[in-house]
Amino acid sequence: MCRLVAYLGEPEATLSSVVLEPEHSLLVQSYAPKEMMSGVVNADGFGVGWYVPWSGDEPAVYRSNSPLWSDRSFAGIASRIRARTILAAVRSATPGLPVEESGVAPFASGPFMFVHNGAIEDFRQKAMRPLRDALSDESYGGLLGTTDSETIFAGLLDRLRDNSGDLGSATTETIRNVSGICAKLGMRATLNLAVTDGKTMSFAHHSTEGPSNSLYFVESGEAFPGAVVVASERLDGDPRWREVPDQHLLTVDGDGVSLRPL
């Protein structure tokens, strides 16, 4: 399993204020998560992506297969980088999948960034081939590793092309496709997905059976006025944090948040 955090707001925020500084920050969640359904720590890498408007539509991404707590270089630059859109994750590798940078989120392609919090059971043994066989040549050719998360992102990219970049529709169709294949194979999948183009974010809170991984959001919270923050675990004790309902899609844009069933 993994943990994620996302920030979208008009005021620019430093990477450190979102990833490192909160009371129960992503840094703390890397070594002391409270609500993970499997695993104990998130020590198999981390990544942070953000958008710099003057440099174009593609995000900047910093990824490492080392634990977040051990990376002094990131800690040194994080307080000096500001952005209005930030997406970050720490990784606990699914058993059987390699610990390497190609498996660390956020994944990026063109203007899009993506995080998957969850796992597909027996992915490499059963689901990898049917999911990858369904990809376009363009998405298949972009694969670098062997993880379920990167494979899901490749399928999502195909649906973004089919839906003219509509994040909500593409995310919903991706959930249905992956869930359908897993159901035919008799496999469980936990599928908390996050995708952004820098202006809008969509989050799926979903599991094919049983409970989903935790997911929360806060609008204009005490620590983040004028912004929406979404996280696997609440970053602080602000009572305005709300849980995303199970089997729902959360969309965040300049107008605020919206929720609808998947």
What pLDDT was estimated at residue 189?
A: 95
pLDDT tens-place string over residues 217-234: 999 999 999 999 999 999
Percentage with pLDDT > 70 across the chain: 97
What does the DSSP 8-state code read for residue 66? S
Q: Is the dihedral of CA 204, 68, 17, 77 positive or negative?
A: negative
pLDDT category of residue 38 using cuts at 50, 70 and 90 = confident
Q: Domain coordinates of the chain in residue numbers?
A: 2-261
pLDDT tens-place string over residues 72-128: 999 999 999 999 999 999 998 766 666 678 889 999 999 999 999 999 999 999 999
What pLDDT was estimated at residue 96?
A: 64
Name the CATH topology of 2-261: Glutamine Phosphoribosylpyrophosphate, subunit 1, domain 1 (3.60.20)
For residue 129, give both structure tokens: 């081939």
Catalytic pick from 1, 2, 26, 227? Answer: 2
**144: alpha, beta or left, given left = phi > 0 and alpha = psi -120 to 50?**
alpha
Closest CA to 206 of 135, 164, 134, 152: 152
What does the DSSP 8-state code read for residue 70? G
Question: Rounded to 5 degrees, what are φ and ψ at 55?
Answer: -105, 5
pLDDT category of residue 5 using cuts at 50, 70 and 90 = very high
Q: Is 2 a catalytic residue?
A: yes
Work out the mean pLDDT of the chain and round it to a whole number: 94
pLDDT tens-place string over residues 47-74: 999 999 888 999 999 999 999 999 999 9
